Amino acid sequence: MTVLIEQPNLEPQFEEQNVHAQETNELVLDGGFPLPKDVSPDAFWAPEINSFGHSFRDYDAESERQKGVEEFYRLQHINQTYDFVKKMREEYKKLNKAEMGIWECCELLNEVVDDSDPDLDEPQIQHLLQSAEAIRKDYPNEDWLHLTALIHDLGKILLLPQFGELPQWAVVGDTFPLGCAFDESNIHHKYFKHNPDSNNPAYNTKNGVYNEGCGLNNVMMSWGHDDYMYMVAKENGTTLPSAGLFIIRYHSFYPLHKEGQYTHLMNEEDVENLKWLRIFNKYDLYSKSKVLIDVEKVKPYYLSLIEKYFPSKLKW
Ligand SMILES: [Fe+2]
Ligand SMILES: [Fe+2]
């Protein structure tokens, strides 16, 4: 079943602002993101610092945590290869690790800590609900977007023993395509020089194994929670619209949605879906806060959305 959704109502300055964000290569808060058309006084406003007192996604700030983040990207860039992703996709496509409902998985995710995230120190379910509730406030009619926010990080269960206990570099962090050159906009790009694919002539040109405009659906992305959750949703027959699946699958693809690179691999549908991903990203990034959501209070609403868009039990 296809669910039809309206295209987002973007203000004309959207393109200009993003060009600005790319040129200066710095985080532009609300200014760099499209806002909903009629902003209400209690709409979600992005804070300027995270709960550690740093700018969001500030990977250069001097702190122990930042060093850990850099080491994380060193490992990720060396170990994520085309062959590795192929193997992971084959393994996880079997969906033979567990059977459970979406809400059950939200609760399970609380056992997970994401080492790659410099902004987050709260239980994962709080991040899911904080982003979902913030986006719900600004886009009250797009219920599919609320649910997308709720489930976008569920794939992080890959870190848990029952789901293969994958290392952090195979689950979290920014994602990027394999099978073509690593664009310089990738965070800590220098570590790619130790990735075997960098020396493979089949994989180290701009297009690599792809044709221009082939569509991201045909591109091998680095393996992680994004692609895994997309696979789970899709294979279990979700009725979420294509934009929702796109957000889940590419929300960590910062070189695309923040830096505007790799666009030559997109097709027309990707271009449309990217508009929604950019909207979503603001809430993913800036809704992380110490103000906790009352889980029991909002649970009935999200259970109703889960029932609308998913079967009661999914294969994982
Ligand atoms: Fe994520
Ligand atoms: Fe997230």
Per-residue model confidence as pLDDT tens digits over 186-235:
999 999 999 999 999 999 999 999 999 999 999 999 999 999 999 999 99
Taking residues 104-127, what's their average pLDDT? 80
Domain ranges of the chain: 61-315
Tokens of 125: 């379910």
User: Of the ligands numbered here, which is closest to the C-alpha atom of 224?
Assistant: 1
Q: How far apart are the CA of 202 and the centre of ligand 2, in A?
A: 33
Q: In whole angstroms, give the CA distance from residue 170 to residue 190.
A: 19
Residue 45 predicted with pLDDT over 60 = no
54 in a labelled binding site: no
* pLDDT-above-70 percentage for the chain: 78
251 in a labelled binding site: yes
Per-residue model confidence as pLDDT tens digits over 241-274:
999 999 999 999 999 999 999 999 999 999 999 9
Taking residues 33-55, what's their average pLDDT? 53
Per-residue model confidence as pLDDT tens digits over 94-110:
999 999 999 999 999 98
Q: How far apart are the CA of 285 and the centre of ligand 2, in A?
A: 7
58 in a labelled binding site: no
Enumerate residues 6+ apart whose C-beta is below 8 A from 183.
176, 189, 255, 259, 261, 262
Contact criterion met (CB below 8 Å) for 174 and 218: no
Q: How far apart are the CA of 59 and the centre of ligand 1, in A?
A: 17
Residue 220 pairs in a beta bridge with 178
Taking residues 15-29, what's their average pLDDT? 30
DSSP 94: T
Residue 59 predicted with pLDDT over 70 = no
Closest CA to 168 of 130, 113, 124, 119: 113
Q: How far apart are the CA of 148 and the centre of ligand 2, in A?
A: 11
Q: How far is CA 225 from the centre of its chain?
A: 8
189 in a labelled binding site: no
198 in a labelled binding site: no
Going by pLDDT thresholds of 50, 70 and 90, the confidence category of residue 60 is: low
Predicted pLDDT of residue 2: 39
87 in a labelled binding site: no
* pLDDT-above-90 percentage for the chain: 71
53 in a labelled binding site: no
Going by pLDDT thresholds of 50, 70 and 90, the confidence category of residue 23 is: very low
Predicted pLDDT of residue 42: 55
Q: How far apart are the CA of 179 and the centre of ligand 1, in A?
A: 22
Q: How far apart are the CA of 226 and the centre of ligand 1, in A?
A: 6
Going by pLDDT thresholds of 50, 70 and 90, the confidence category of residue 56 is: low
